[in-house]
Structure 1
Amino acid sequence: MSARGRHRRRKRGRALRAVLAGAALGLTAAATLISASQATVASDPGALKPITSAAGLGELRLRESLEPQQSLDRLAAAMGRPVGVGTVLKSADHTMRDSADCTTDEKAALPVEPAATHAYCWDSGDAADPAWTPRSVTTSGDADEDGWWGSNRVILSGWSANTRGLARVAFVNAADPARLTYTWALLAVPTDGGRDYRGLVSRISGMVWYQDKLLVTTTSGSRDALYVYDMNRVQRATVTASAVGRVREGWSAAGYRYVLPAIGSYRLSGGKSAVRPVALSLDRGTVPDSLVASGAKRLWRYPFSGDPARAGLLATDAAGRASAEEAYDTKVTGAGGVLSYGSAWYLGGSAGTEGGRGTMWRQNTGGAKATECGADGTHRCWSPRTDSLSYWQETGEVWSVSGRMLFALPLTSIDRSLG
């Protein structure tokens, strides 16, 4: 990438930030959705407790398993030349609704304090479909620190099927904040040496797009903890059918136009005590950049590889093992999405009760604080559940999904709301 091209993108980024700053939404009406029964102060989880024992860190170790290049090439040769992210975005056939057009029930998933500055809900067909649930989010702000992927600004949202056991990703064109459009790609796993593929049978509660790789969590019964996808290997389906994989007429992806075949996975290498990542995010404040994870009341990070030949993959030892370089125990109840910024860890705590609201905590080794709302100082003012948080460094915004809402707000507004 030339210095001139990057400079042009940074100028576009500054211009877009000005637009975004002026487009803050008046979502304070959501505050009326807090009932008196929710005005209780959430239990203080206290400080993070560092995990330093070899046994404790060993429970977080992963082993890398990459698909043979021959298998990937065989699949690409059979399906046709892969397409890029830009091609996928150009075929966007769905339009997101702005918050003003979202229903009251949909907007009930938004945080009350701090309020979202950008909020969208999916098109009416996807929003009303009970078979799928949005669980995770990452952006081109993760992929590249200037916030652009080529000439595009992109948001990816991972959705999980509630019955069939499939996973899909919404490719959202975020170039115009006043009109977000998107289309779908099915997540798949190559089989039979690249002669076929199957769907990723798992919920994806966490995802990070770093450089040209997309890492997603898996909660299936296998020992695979993370799957890895190459954003340069998006394949076109040639048949519009409910089947997944090779069919008589060609290649099918459960009715979707695009399919992403995995290029590898990271497997749990510990015994029965191995901890599976549930939420993911990217931290650019470490050297090298690191993948942040949470699960089973633990927080930890893996460094990314600095080898150009392993762009977007985790750092591994000679045996292919990825080890956590930092880990903590947390007492945040129902911790969902996770962010690490500086010495602080941000955790979205779930509501815990039907119709209740969650809590946003900032925690470190010195203690914990939560966002407050109202004169009574209640901490129950976050979204009911946010499994995923993504920090867009270039704009200073945190993106998340909750219910049927996709929303963003400045990280600084979270810090200002801390009690």
Structure 2
Amino acid sequence: MRNRGRHRRQRRGRAVRAVLTGAALALTAAATVISASQATVVSGPGGLRPLTSAADLGRLRLQERAEPSGTLDRLASAMGRPVGVDTVLRSADRTLRSGADCSATEREALPVEPAATRAYCWDTRTSADAAWTPRSVTTSGDADDDGLWGAHRVILAGWTESGRGLARVAFVNADDPAHLTYTWALLAVPTDGGRDYRGLVSTVSGMVWYQDKLLVTTADGTGDALYVYDMDRIQRTTVTTSAVGRVDGGWSAAGYRYVLPAVTSYRLTGGGSALRPRNIALDRSTAPDSLVASGDRGDRLWRYPFSKDPARGGLLATDSAGRVTAGEAYETKVAGVRGVLAQGSDWYLSRAAGQDSRHGSIWRQDRKGAKATRCGADESRHCWSGGTDSLSYWAETGEVWSLSGRMLFALPLASVDKSVR
């Protein structure tokens, strides 16, 4: 069943980078003129302030809660043998449009500086459906350090529905940068001991695919901060209806062919003072690898170490009681943090657009200070995309992937570093 990329190492780094360089797009968003009225006049936020007190770290503690194996096995027995990512990718029935084929309105969501080198928008049926909004992104570059899952390059995009609040994931086959295809799977939570499941009802603002696990932020009102999905436990549905769960004649997932039942969750333990992760990303520059997070209050950053136990692949490190403690935490004065990345001592923080601009900003901050990307004759900080909730670093190619509006885009992290001043 396991189809991990580390079992099929294919060192194609140089060839892949050549393809990606050749595929860079000349996007009209790069020519957007920022007016002087959009210039940021506030002073810089300064450096990160470490948080070390027991009270501060206690607000970040999580409790792991695994679904019983009997629950998952009962569901799999009833629905049929689970499938893996490769099977889902072979079912891809929609195609992403390249940046040049996206509308001017769609391209307005792209960054001004640095400009996207690759950009895509969803097919017209997906883009026209206002009920669903893309919120988060992760890739096979997170899943495995060679950038592949088995033989495939894969992008996952998390979407949230405005009506019922359901969450779905687009599985994107990115083997050919000039022709990206995708299909959907619904995120779910087992109920009744595995005899049924419900849809995950939450805004999925953060998502990280690490080894064979997909970690997703949640604010579904249950007290859970993260849900975990096993990429080798994807279930097929048998009935195509708008219902979710067991129905007459079989299993349904709001019309989608695949459903992922959660295998583990992490619950907040700090009571009313607990900080819920809003955005998350993978940091491979630490030992062990770590999950970095920004909080729902926008002024806290922290990281959780991943477990080094081979039997706990893709799960966070816990103590003997199943508790997860932050390895480090900081206070930031970059207001309204949305997306977060960390590489070594550098943290990259994106902010949404304000009332005076269509564009947001992106900052690089460490304990010594902070700098933002600048653009235009007036050196405005409003250079980034306006609606970014998620950032994902693909180490093998050096790219940062993100979502804004109806656009999926990538650019080199080096270009961010070059633009901050």
Identify the TM-score tier after normalising by the shorter chain: over 0.9
What amino acid does structure 2 have at the position aligned with 1:369? K
Choose the corresponding residue for 1:418, options 392, 396, 420: 420
The residue type equivalent to 2:183 in the other structure is T
Write the deviation string for residues 220-241 of structure 1: whole angstroms up to 9, x where unpaired.
2220000000000000000000
Going from structure 1 to structure 2, the CA distance change for 1:229 and 1:2 (only over 3 Å counts) comes to closer
Letter of the aligned partner of 2:260 in structure 1?
L
Shift of 1:135: 0.2
SS of the residue corresponding to residue 271 of structure 2 reads: coil
| Residue 17 of structure 1: how far off its partner (Å) | 1.3
SS at match of 1:158: strand
Q: Which structure 2 segments of 5+ residues have no match?
A: none
Instruction: Name the aligned partner's letter for residue 395 of structure 2.
Output: Q
Match of residue 301 from structure 2: 299
- Equivalent in the alignment of 1:176: 176
| Equivalent position amino acid for 1:353 in 2 | Q
**Match in the other structure for 1:312:** 314
SS of match in other structure, 2:308: coil
Change in CA separation of 1:42 and 1:85 when aligned onto 2, cut-off 3 Å:
farther
The corresponding residue for 1:10 is: 11
CA-CA distance at 1:354 after TM superposition? 6.5
Q: Is the partner of 1:266 in helix, strand or coil?
A: strand
Contact 2:171–2:182 (CA under 8 A) maintained in structure 1: yes
* Residue 5 to residue 169, structure 1, CA distance change in 2 (3 Å): closer
Instruction: Give yes or no for contact 1:41–1:380 (8 Å, CA) kept in 2.
Output: no
Alignment of 1:230-269 (within 5 A): 230-269=230-269
Show the counterpart of 1:339.
Answer: 341
AA in 2 matched with 1:179:
H
Structure 2 distance, partners of 1:221, 1:320, is 21
Counterparts of residues 10-409 of structure 1 (less than 5 Å): 10-11=11-12, 13-32=13-32, 34-41=34-41, 43-295=43-295, 296=297, 297-353=299-355, 355-409=357-411
Q: Secondary structure at the residue paired with 2:277?
A: coil
The farther-off stretch of 34-43 and 210-219 is 34-43
For the 8 Å contact 2:341–2:392, the answer to whether it is kept is: yes
Tell me if structure 1 keeps the 8 A contact 2:217–2:278. yes
Structure-1 separation of matches of 2:345 and 2:256: 42
Query: Structure 1 391/189 Cα, relative in aligned 2: closer, same or farther at 3 Å?
Result: same
- Counting matched residue pairs gives 417
Measure the CA separation in 1 of the matches of 2:294 and 2:335.
12
CA 1:183/1:33 → structure 2, altered by over 3 Å: closer, same or farther? Answer: farther
Q: Equivalent residue of 1:278, what SS?
A: strand
1:186 match: secondary structure: strand
Q: Displacement, 1:21?
A: 1.1
Question: Over the residues paired in the alignment, what is the CA RMSD in angstroms?
Answer: 1.6
Percent identity over the alignment?
Answer: 72
Q: Could you say what secondary structure the match of 2:272 adopts?
A: coil
Paired with 1:214 and 1:117, the residues of 2 have a C-alpha distance of 27
When residues 416 and 175 of structure 1 are mapped into structure 2, their CA distance, relative to the original with a 3 A threshold, is same
Pairwise CA distance, 1:4: 11
**Cα contact 2:217–2:225 (8 A) shared by 1:** yes
Q: 2: distance between equivalents of 1:5 and 1:364?
A: 36
The answer to whether the Cα contact below 8 Å between 1:51 and 1:329 also exists between their aligned partners in 2 is yes
Residues 115-147 of structure 1, C-alpha deviation per residue, up to 9 Å, x if partnerless? 000000000111111100000000000000000
**Inter-CA distance 337–4: structure 2 relative to 1 (3 Å threshold):** closer
Supply the distance in 2 between the matched residues of 1:76 and 1:247 (Cα, whole angstroms). Answer: 16
Give the Cα separation in 1 of the matches to 2:241 and 2:103: 32
Tell me the CA shift for residue 40 of structure 1.
3.0
Q: For structure 1, which segment, 33-42 or 244-253, has the greater mean C-alpha deviation from structure 2 after superposition?
A: 33-42
Q: Tell me whether 307-316 or 33-42 shows the greater mean CA deviation.
A: 33-42
Structure 2 length as normaliser, TM-score?
Answer: 0.96
Cα separation, 1, equivalents of 2:144 and 2:251: 32
Residue type at the aligned position of 2:379: G
C-alpha contact 1:84 1:231 (8 A) present in aligned 2: yes
SS in 2 for 1:272: helix
Distance 1:307 1:29 in 2: 45
